[in-house]
Structure 1
Amino acid sequence: MSEEKVHDRVDDGEKVEAADNSSVSALISKARQEGLKPIFLAKVEVLNHAIAECGMGRYQWELFFTAGFGWFADNLWLQAIAILMPSIANQHNFPDYSSNIRMATFALYVGLICGATFWGMTCDVIGRRTAWNATLFISGIFGIAAGASPNFVTLGAMLALIGFGVGGNLPVDGALFLEFLPGPYQYLLTLLSVWWAIGQVVGSLISWVFLAKFSCNADLIGTLVNGAVYRCDNTNNNGWRYSYYTMGALMVVMGVFRFFCFPMDESPKFLLSIGRDQEAVDVIHRIAKKNKVKSNLTVQHLLDAATPYLEPGSEMPQVKFTTWGLLVNGLEHLSFDNVRGLFATPRLAYSSSLIIFIYGALGLAYPLFNAFLGAYLSSREKDTGNTGIDATYSAYTYQAACGVGGSILAAAMVQWSRTGRKFSMAIFTILSGVFLFALTAARTSVQVNALVSIASFWENAFYGVLYGYAPEVFPTPRRGTGDAFAAASSRVTGLFAPIIAVYSNAGKTPNGPVYASAAIFIFTGLTMLGLPIETVGVTAL
């Protein structure tokens, strides 16, 4: 062999080695930026490639369908309490609407806080699948029980327990769906919010049907009818009970359908994060089989990817837990390691803090208007000359249906590189506030219905983007914890909506909470422009 060829091969080898060293350095830098261990990040990149090879097939579409159940349930219950509250307030021996009946919303939000925190954090400990299988059943069982409540205290307790189950849906279902998606299809996490809007529509229709047929006449309360004092009780005011029975049963059916008809696998990225590499590989092969493709991923591929990041002389860490060992290890993680991981770098700390603030601000603004929308519409419809339950709930159904279009628009916009996630949700949020301000000046029934519907369109659009954006920003080992903190922040501030409605002067007029909600939306939309991370075109870790 000539001396020149030998030198050429040596040069080529040096170039390859330099390229390898460069890629290793780049990954280490990326891991530091995200607050992750380089070994885990190297394995995740291999896993992301394997998921991309499996493609967007039957497995992911089934998951889109069943993950949607959780989002459906979240908004169904949030809106049901707003729709049913005026009818419940007419019930004999229950607080009337002008007093503490609106504190039922407070009870629901207490449960939502506990549920979001518990399910969101434990899904980083014992996996996503436990919460996935439990939350719908919990909300369904206690939803049925709420319909049988003999008094207001029992109703409040049942609503809190409904909230405990429902609270886990958004942080867990979104994180799990994201972790099965190929990178180019992550926009479907935004489209998942269409189920949130559908839940609002279904909740409105169920309530409308039963309240229209099985509600008492509130105008007759306290008057003499056929020689007796008229009151609303279990003989003439069971519409709200039938609504709770129906929605609770629907949750149970969805839970059964999810558990038995479309059983899901544990997230492969979660399995990697706790060292169960073989199980993660097995999940990838099941995805490939259902999608009718072939995957060549093996544990050796993961080990090879991680090898360059081992300390000299050290062996590859092997982690295999028994059920008890996994629980003990998870409890160690709850010693704020996952929480600290959300703030591991200045960039991540700023991003996490801003997301939690945005969730909290919107968590106050949204229920200030929407949690009392039924009463607001009833008041405004009377002001514009429309009376009767059909006028109120037809308006409620119109605005709920418009939210579906907002979710679809959001899914389209987040893929457009000129807008991306941040700018899209900022514009959507600001427009929500603008149309709510316009609503306060509406003078006719048509104007009220149109402006409420348009505001609902933009609200569902920004929530769709936000609930897709946050899980993309939080890395896998802390994704559930990050989503839990964000969701809990939203629920904590939501607690103040009924307090403001009951005790503040602003809450004593129909437009007071609307002004407050609109102002918060606009301010929060401007704040979103300061988010440091744009996730369009980036595969989640």
Structure 2
Amino acid sequence: MSDDHKTDLQEKPTSLVPRQQDDSESLRSEMYTQAKREGVKPAFLAKVHLINEAIAETGMGRYQWELFFTSGFGWMADNLWLQSIAIVMPAVANEFKPYPYVRLSTLALYAGMIVGATFWGMSCDVIGRRLAFNSTLFLSAIFGIAVGASPDYVTFNVLIALLGFAAGGNLPVDGTMFLEFIPGSKQYLLTFLSVWWAIGQAVGSLISWGFLANYGCQTPAAGTFCSKESNMGWRYTYYTLGAFILFLWVVRFFVFPVHESPKFLASIGRDDEAVEVIHKVAKRNGITINLTADDLRRAAAPYLSKEETAAIADADQSTKMTTLELIKHSFSQWSFVHITALFSTPRLAYSSSLIIFCYAALGLGYPLFNGFLGGYLATKNASLGVMDLDATYAAYTYQAACGIPGSLAAALLVNWSRGGRKFAMAFFTVVSGVVLFGLTQSKTTIQVNALISIASFFQNAFYGCLYGYAPEVFPAPHRGTGDALVSAASRITGIFAPVIAVYSPAANSPEAPVFAAASIFVVTGLVMLLLPIETYGKTAI
């Protein structure tokens, strides 16, 4: 405001009404500016401010902690299935003899995950979070059990792809659901949700170790193969993992059922239901709040056009839609608006592009190392004179266990005001790469196991930071789509890991994929520092 304008104001008689009008115009201007910067409509932003205040008032109570556990089931399932395919591949190869193409089973899993991440992530912006949240875990359990009954290698890969389709929605949907119910001051817990990812790795390793070590067939002589009866370990593994995930789905669906996200409901104009959900959450937490649907409508009214106001009035006269009617209506509105909104401003376009790059790069680097860790350990141990199969599975378990405290370290560091989310991500990612460079120079079994465990600590930490940061950046109306895009980018590049492992000139070198993964981690960590948005201290929209 210029000095001349300030003088003009001082010369006029003070009046409450003009001051209120001036404040109102200032608020409207700020709301339009923020809405443009965030890529959302100002009317929705006005409602979100009230919803965030109400959620903060409900606190981090019983409902939120229940959701922390049930959302964690999905994160656990994601890494559990990734870990299991890496461990059982040698046993599958011994029975079906698809050498050297058994590694392409990982490609089938990733192909399914690409489609699944895209479908489930985008659909939760169209038909809601709840349906996808309740479907992905159940379907992955069913297909996981079916994998164990595969009669041949082709069927095995088809079922693995279907399993990937179901499991692909776990990370983008479950993280979105959890974020939209927690107070802004507790958003660092989205990073800590990655502890379930590490637990999934540990559970997958332990169950696989137990069955493969006791019911597995040793690598047969050339020209022969293991019979089904002598090689049931990998089948028992999938039966058990599938049954375990099915049990978790029962707990999620029947014991701790979830409500639809109030931010999603508000984004499609269902204000009454959004407020109803918030009151149910508050009741679950043992408190009472005063938010009403009229509060949301009054907050949004100054930013609505006449056409939008009339449409809302018409909608208020209709009865509440059934789930089937909602699905039909939602898919009739399907368009690319959720994608284009993520690139609607230069700042958003730059941010979204860099996040997609980071996901894509790590999506290649992570499976280059972890997806073929079994083969690396077998080759490395053999070169060191260790031929014990248990040594390989023990290393898997050490690695998985060390990932759990990595999640705690990530949750602590992202909440450090001097560093914030971006520094935490970059730090853990770069150090993870440095540790893998050290692994390529390891000379003893102790060094190998120690460096793999340390690498797991930092890898789980940087994944926790990244998977917590991205949903915070994406605005609620387009959050599922944003999570879908980055998850799909991660799976797409992940497809190239088995292709590189099979067809690259360095395919027979156990150190090559480790060195490549290390290089990717270091470069990506440095790129993270260029991200334009710091989410520390900000409540997600």
TM-score range, shorter chain: over 0.9
2:293 aligned partner: 299
Is the aligned partner of 1:37 residue 2:48? Answer: no
Give me the whole-angstrom Cα distance separating, in 1, the residues matched to 2:281 and 2:165: 31
1:179-238 CA distances to partner (integer Å, 9 max, x unpaired)? 0010000000000000000000000000010011011122x5359xxxxxx741122111
Give me the whole-angstrom Cα distance separating, in 1, the residues matched to 2:248 and 2:387: 36
AA at the equivalent of 2:63: Y
Q: In the comparison of the two structures, how many residue pairs are matched?
A: 525
Kindly report which structure 2 residues correspond to 1:87-166, keeping only aligned pairs within 5 A, or say none. 87-91=91-95, 93-96=96-99, 99-166=100-167
CA shift, 1:313, in A, is 9.6
Answer whether contact 1:116 1:168 (CA < 8 A) is retained: yes
Secondary structure of residue in 2 paired with 1:353? helix
AA at the equivalent of 1:410: A
Give me the whole-angstrom Cα distance separating, in 2, the residues matched to 1:59 and 1:73: 21
CA shift, 1:332, in A, is 4.8
Give me the whole-angstrom Cα distance separating, in 1, the residues matched to 2:275 and 2:307: 27
Is the aligned partner of 1:289 residue 2:283? Answer: yes
Give me the whole-angstrom Cα distance separating, in 1, the residues matched to 2:403 and 2:42: 42
Give me the whole-angstrom Cα distance separating, in 2, the residues matched to 1:251 and 1:63: 17
Secondary structure of residue in 2 paired with 1:342? helix
Give me the whole-angstrom Cα distance separating, in 1, the residues matched to 2:404 and 2:69: 15
Give me the whole-angstrom Cα distance separating, in 1, the residues matched to 2:17 and 2:212: 77
1:261 aligned partner: 255
AA at the equivalent of 1:22: S
Secondary structure of residue in 1 paired with 2:309? coil
* Structure 2 residues without counterparts, runs of 5 or longer: 1-10
Is the aligned partner of 1:191 residue 2:182? Answer: no
1:70 aligned partner: 74
CA shift, 1:306, in A, is 1.2
1:226 aligned partner: none
Give me the whole-angstrom Cα distance separating, in 2, the residues matched to 1:222 and 1:459: 38
Identical residues among aligned pairs (%): 60
Answer whether contact 1:221 1:232 (CA < 8 A) is retained: no
CA shift, 1:317, in A, is 4.4
Q: Cα RMSD between the aligned structures?
A: 1.7
Give me the whole-angstrom Cα distance separating, in 1, the residues matched to 2:60 and 2:206: 33
AA at the equivalent of 2:213: A
Evaluate the alpha carbon distance shift between residue 9 and residue 405 of structure 1 in structure 2; reply closer, same or farther with a 3 A threshold.
farther
1:367 aligned partner: 367
Answer whether contact 2:127 2:331 (CA < 8 A) is retained: no
Structure 1 length normalisation: TM-score?
Answer: 0.94
Is the aligned partner of 1:280 residue 2:274? Answer: yes
Structure 2 length normalisation: TM-score?
Answer: 0.94
AA at the equivalent of 1:497: A
AA at the equivalent of 1:77: W
1:483 aligned partner: 483
Give me the whole-angstrom Cα distance separating, in 1, the residues matched to 2:279 and 2:39: 29
1:68-122 CA distances to partner (integer Å, 9 max, x unpaired)? 000000000001111111121111x4313xx100000000001000100000011
Secondary structure of residue in 2 paired with 1:172? helix
AA at the equivalent of 2:73: F
1:446-499 CA distances to partner (integer Å, 9 max, x unpaired)? 000011111111100000010000001000110000100000000011010000
AA at the equivalent of 1:467: Y
Answer whether contact 2:141 2:245 (CA < 8 A) is retained: yes
1:461 aligned partner: 461
CA shift, 1:316, in A, is 6.1
Kindly report which structure 2 residues correspond to 1:84-483, keeping only aligned pairs within 5 A, or say none. 84-91=88-95, 93-96=96-99, 99-218=100-219, 220-222=220-222, 231-311=225-305, 315=309, 317-318=311-312, 319=315, 322-323=321-322, 326-483=326-483
Give me the whole-angstrom Cα distance separating, in 2, the residues matched to 1:341 and 1:168: 21
Evaluate the alpha carbon distance shift between residue 527 and residue 140 of structure 1 in structure 2; reply closer, same or farther with a 3 A threshold.
same
Secondary structure of residue in 2 paired with 1:495? helix
2:7 aligned partner: none
Give me the whole-angstrom Cα distance separating, in 2, the residues matched to 1:205 and 1:61: 27
